[in-house]
Structure 1
Amino acid sequence: MPKNRVIIYEEAGADPRADVMAVENGHGRTRVRAVSEPAQMADLVTALVEEGVDQVELCGGFGAVWHAEARRATGGKVPVGAIYYGFESLTSVASYKERFEAGEALSEAFIIVHEGADPEVDRVVREKDAGGRTTFVAVPDAGAAGEVAGKLAGELQLIELYGGEGPEGAEPVIRAVDAGVPVGVSGYRR
């Protein structure tokens, strides 16, 4: 059965009703949505579940408290994953957080595994008003995720991998950036 998944992140001035990116093919649909503040996320999750979404993934910026809130908002009807960082990324993700909070212009990529995706076509780049950019790119598998991460790593300060298959799916991305960029991966409670 094809998946109907939504990835949610925070962006100033965002409209949570609008798709930032959508990939849809015979393997399912993956959409990216943004909220302008974390408090909007629970209502968005509730509405998405009512509309038929069967999986939600949250950006690492939300953290564990908001992850728990999102899980409650689903009423236990769908799995909710959130980005977490492995030990190899802790120092660099702490540096990213400090630089972000200081107002530095930073660039990040959301690499989204969606079977059948074409990373040349299924790509959206959002330039930030204060500088930097967020790149969303869908890839067909973990190998392609590693290739894309390796190509983008030199211009990024953070990578988040969505839709991967646990540590095996994250490994090619982590190896491709060789600890030069923190890599967050989706964690689920099964």
Structure 2
Amino acid sequence: MSEDRVVIYEEVGADPLADVLVIENEHGRTRVRAVPEPGQLAGLVKRLADEGVDRFELCGGFGAVWHAEARRVLGESVPVGAIYYGFESLASVADYKARFEAGEVLAEAFLIVHPGADPASDRVVRHRDEGGRTTVLGVPDLAGAAAAAAAMAGELQLIEVYGGRRPDDAEPVIRAAVEAGVPVGMSAF
């Protein structure tokens, strides 16, 4: 049985019913969705779980409160992970948050680990009206995520890694990006 996973992040003006990116192959399906505000998260995860989604991962911008809300809505029926940052990224992620809240133009990447993903075609870049961008990039494995992080680190202020099974799965990405001052978050369930 293949996995049906959805990654959710927040983006002003987003349509929560539209897929930002879909990677689908013999290994399963991974979709990325955005909500315009966190209050829409609970309804979206409930609707998608009712449609058969069997795993969710939430952007680090939601934090523990919204992670708990999604888990409350779904109970123990569907795993819900969220991006958290290790000690090595705390100072730089705090700096990112302050710069974001001050309205600075920033760029981030969401690295979506999905076996068989092709980074050349499984890629979407979302440009914000006020400047900055979010790159959503499918990679086939953690080595591919580390290579992408190393290649992109100079132009990013934040990286989040989705698709790992444990927080320490992000270790190769952390090694590739944190030395360049880019915080790396990873999913924890």
> How does the TM-score come out when normalised to structure 1?
0.97
Cα gap change, 1:178 to 1:98, in 2 (>3 Å): closer
- 1:68 matched to 2:72? The reply is no
Question: In the alignment, residue 60 of structure 1 is paired with which amino acid?
Answer: G
Aligned residues: 188
Residue equivalent to 1:186? 187
Q: What are the ranges of 5 or more consecutive residues in structure 1 without an aligned counterpart?
A: none
C-alpha contact 2:167 2:188 (8 A) present in aligned 1:
no
Deviation at 1:23, TM superposition (A): 0.4
Residue equivalent to 1:93? 93
| CA distance, structure 1, for counterparts of residue 13 and residue 188 of structure 2 | 27
Equivalent position SS for 1:84? strand
| CA distance, structure 2, for counterparts of residue 66 and residue 177 of structure 1 | 27
Residue equivalent to 1:43? 43
Cα-to-partner distance string for 1:81-105 (whole Å, 9 max, x where unaligned):
0000000000000000000000011
| CA distance, structure 1, for counterparts of residue 106 and residue 178 of structure 2 | 19
Equivalent position SS for 1:169? helix
Question: In the alignment, residue 184 of structure 1 is paired with which amino acid?
Answer: G
Residue equivalent to 1:22? 22
Residue equivalent to 1:82? 82
Residue equivalent to 1:129? 129
Aligned CA-pair RMSD: 0.8
| CA distance, structure 2, for counterparts of residue 72 and residue 177 of structure 1 | 34
C-alpha contact 2:89 2:178 (8 A) present in aligned 1:
no
Deviation at 1:167, TM superposition (A): 4.0
| CA distance, structure 1, for counterparts of residue 138 and residue 153 of structure 2 | 16
Question: In the alignment, residue 188 of structure 2 is paired with which amino acid?
Answer: G
Cα gap change, 1:69 to 1:167, in 2 (>3 Å): closer
Deviation at 1:121, TM superposition (A): 0.9
> How does the TM-score come out when normalised to structure 2?
0.97
Question: In the alignment, residue 57 of structure 1 is paired with which amino acid?
Answer: E
Deviation at 1:51, TM superposition (A): 0.3
- 1:145 matched to 2:183? The reply is no
Deviation at 1:24, TM superposition (A): 0.3
Residue equivalent to 1:119? 119
Cα-to-partner distance string for 1:32-68 (whole Å, 9 max, x where unaligned):
0000000000000000000000000000000000000
| CA distance, structure 2, for counterparts of residue 102 and residue 32 of structure 1 | 27
Equivalent position SS for 1:29? strand
Equivalent position SS for 2:50? helix
Cα gap change, 1:168 to 1:86, in 2 (>3 Å): closer
Residue equivalent to 2:34? 34
> Could you tell me the percent identity over the aligned residues?
69
Deviation at 1:169, TM superposition (A): 2.0
Equivalent position SS for 1:104? coil
